[in-house]
Amino acid sequence: MSKKKIIPCLDCKDGRVVKGVSFVDLKDAGDPVEIAKAYCAEGADELVLLDITATTDDRATKLDLVRRVAEVVTIPFAVGGGIHSAEEFRAVIGAGADKAAVNSAAILNPELLKELAEEFGSERVVSAIDAVRRKDGSGWSVVRNSGTVDADMDVVEWAKQVEELGAGEIILTSMDEDGQKKGYDIGLTKAVAEAVSIPVTASGGAGSKEDILAAFTECNAAAALAASLFHFKEVGIRELKEYLKENGVEVDL
């Protein structure tokens, strides 16, 4: 059985780490370079940096920030936000990211994922999927542009499609639960994890060690991503991993 991964997420705006609820009401959480360095030292398995206003600002990811973070980390490092083309993907990888996440651009042009996988390899291509629960309870819909636009697509069907197109993993964020700290959307994560064979990272809603345990034991996520929980020192990564280990989850200590 593969070891489960703990992944802190740096949501960045204007060169600072921020955290809010469903990507709004943002609060400053610190300098991304210093935070990245600290998470690396604490034992994070990977790191994700999301330039959360790149797409809504209609600009590319800030490469200088990517370079500065890449210089201080020794763990796999993924970047997302504002990647609209193979050229921008190439630039992010060239700036030091190990892999890059594509969201809105892939929804608008699914063949982009295939193009990226063929050029860079599936292991570098991450499909970031933001989901909202449908009001009629029939499942989840895909949203884009930081959750501001309904893409009129079913999340589970889109997850299957991104795998077929060549994405090597999925970061699955529940916009309903993001920042709520009441736990991941277990039904959503389980539905996607069971529908695909590539790793799925649970994102959106972690508020406790128990929430992260549930992502692994109740829906078979390959990794758990969290922000507030780590940024505001509510749970330490080493402490979390020891708790998971005690509860039968294989992690890298």
* Catalytic residue IDs: 11, 130
Contact assessment for residue 196 and residue 166, using Cβ atoms and an 8 Å cutoff: no
- Report how far residue 253's alpha carbon sits from residue 205's, in angstroms, rounded to the nearest whole number: 24
Contact assessment for residue 238 and residue 45, using Cβ atoms and an 8 Å cutoff: no
- Report how far residue 21's alpha carbon sits from residue 24's, in angstroms, rounded to the nearest whole number: 5
Contact assessment for residue 138 and residue 149, using Cβ atoms and an 8 Å cutoff: no
Closest CA to 142 of 113, 170, 114, 168: 170
Helix (H) or strand (E) holding 203: strand 200-203
Burial grade of 114 (CB within 10 A; 0-12, 13-18, 19 or more)? middle
Burial grade of 111 (CB within 10 A; 0-12, 13-18, 19 or more)? exposed
Contact assessment for residue 51 and residue 62, using Cβ atoms and an 8 Å cutoff: yes
Contact assessment for residue 96 and residue 49, using Cβ atoms and an 8 Å cutoff: no
